[in-house]
Amino acid sequence: MENRTTLWWGRFDPGYSRNRVLRGLLGDLGWRIRDFRPLLSRFAGAEASLRRIATPDLVWVPCFRQRDAAAAIAWARARGVPILFDPLISAWDKQVFEREKFAEDSAEAWGLLAWEQGLFRQMDMVVADTVPHAEFFAQRFGLDMDRLAVIPVGAEESLFEPAPPDRTHQGPVEVLFYGSFIGLQGPETIIEAAKLYDGPPVSWHLLGAGPLLADCQAAAQGLDNVVFEPWIDYKSLPARIHDADILLGVFGASEKAGRVIPNKVYQALACGRPVITRHSDAYPDDLNRPGSGIAFVPPGDAGALAQAVSHWASARDSLPDLSASAIASYGCYLSNAAIQEHLRNALARLGFRD
């Protein structure tokens, strides 16, 4: 793919993990990346013309940039250039079901759905991070599956590297959750699991901040083995993961929580730490087995989570083996090398073959 150029269009964050991973993989495949970050999304087409932006081989609209999509579509169509959109999430889904800003049957929700559906249908390709997410896009937005591609999220491997567990650590087994304390993550389920826990000594650590933090802190009153930690610098996160014995994923019971593999799961496995998270069809089937380095529990089930933590904590000597399994599972199914094949296949379907 030498000498092919993709124009990343929109007011996107180039430092966001999803963008950094995909941009790195595109570069590894021989693509040159040019950025066009307009002053105003609505008038981006006019700005691109005034700035005489050179015509690329592919226009790429990055994640969360629905507001940039219409101008990018018009500009690409006028030049006969294929356009790809990697939304990562649906704006309609987020506003209606996650934030509950609009009722599902309200005029605002229907308008938002129609607007987003129109954008998706005009794309040559829409990217989803998991198969269930692609199926959701197909169902809700009337897209044919042949116009959808699955490219997993991944982790920044230059930052999230494997490290062996500390075999000299003799204190309680440390269980770590980090996140933005939103409903999808189900942090309240973690607090309830800490209350129900019955097993070898463990220390539950919840790092981060967000809407449900105060509720979780209130619910954890009197639990001496629950520790809340403030946000840390992103670059310090791998070291914090390495300090823990077991990582926690997400436990929300929403449909969206069942369609995603969250960043924290990729990052924890890349660091070589076993993960407990809610069951989801988003994961490869081969990971749903003992010894994979990842354990699944029913969504919102605090008792099952407490039991899963107890099971691993009771076999503390096996944690190094679970760490090795986590690294192996990541390498086989969730690594950047695996994701690059998904990206290569998606580009090939647009006509860009090696």
The total of other beta-carbon atoms located within 10 Å of residue 144's CB is 8
What is the residue-averaged pLDDT of the chain?
A: 95
Q: What is the pLDDT of residue 167?
A: 67
Higher pLDDT, 125 or 168: 125
Whether residue 75 contacts residue 45, with contact meaning beta carbons closer than 8 Å, is answered with yes
pLDDT score of 98 more than 90 = no
User: How far does the chain reach from its first CA to its final CA, in angstroms?
Assistant: 5
pLDDT score of 354 more than 90 = no
Read off the pLDDT band of 281 (50, 70, 90): very high
Q: Which residues contact 329 (CB under 8 A, 6 or more apart)?
A: 269, 287, 292, 293, 294
Which tens digit of pLDDT belongs to each residue from 247-258? 999 999 999 999
pLDDT score of 121 more than 60 = yes
* Global confidence as pTM: 0.92
Nearest-Å Rg of the Cα atoms of the chain is 21
Whether residue 156 contacts residue 312, with contact meaning beta carbons closer than 8 Å, is answered with no
* Rounded average pLDDT over 49-53: 95
For residue 10, which of 70, 58, 94 has the smallest C-alpha distance? Answer: 70
What stretch of H or E contains 283? none
Q: What is the pLDDT of residue 102?
A: 94
pLDDT score of 166 more than 80 = no
pLDDT score of 1 more than 60 = no
Kindly state the greatest CA–CA separation across the chain. 66
Which tens digit of pLDDT belongs to each residue from 295-339? 999 999 999 999 999 999 999 999 999 999 999 999 999 999 999
Give me 239's structure tokens.
């070291």
Place of tokens 């503390």: 316
Query: C-alpha angle with apex 147: 103 to 105, nearest 5 degrees?
Result: 10
Place of tokens 């899963």: 308
- The CA distances from residue 313 to 77, 179, 180, 328, in Å, are 57, 23, 26, 21
Q: What is the pLDDT of residue 84?
A: 98
Whether residue 215 contacts residue 242, with contact meaning beta carbons closer than 8 Å, is answered with no
Kindly write down the DSSP assignment for every residue of 203-268, as one continuous string. EEEEEE--TTHHHHHHHTTT-TTEEEE----GGGHHHHHHH-SEEE-----STGGGT---HHHHHH
Q: Which residues contact 124 (CB under 8 A, 6 or more apart)?
A: 82, 83, 84, 147, 350
Domains (range + CATH), the chain: 4-154+336-349 (3.40.50.2000), 173-334 (3.40.50.2000)
pLDDT score of 168 more than 60 = yes
Whether residue 134 contacts residue 148, with contact meaning beta carbons closer than 8 Å, is answered with yes
Q: What is the pLDDT of residue 2?
A: 61
Q: Which residues contact 236 (CB under 8 A, 6 or more apart)?
A: none
How many angstroms separate the CA atoms of 172 and 16, rounded? 34
Give me 34's structure tokens.
């040019």
Residues above pLDDT 70, as percent of the chain:
99
Whether residue 240 contacts residue 207, with contact meaning beta carbons closer than 8 Å, is answered with yes
For residue 126, which of 93, 96, 90, 154 has the smallest C-alpha distance? Answer: 90
Q: What is the pLDDT of residue 25?
A: 96
What stretch of H or E contains 179? strand 173-179
Least confident range from 40-54, 81-95, 165-179: namely 165-179
Residue 124: DSSP 8-state? S
- Is residue 295 classed exposed, middle or buried when 0-12, 13-18 and 19+ CB atoms within 10 A define those classes? buried
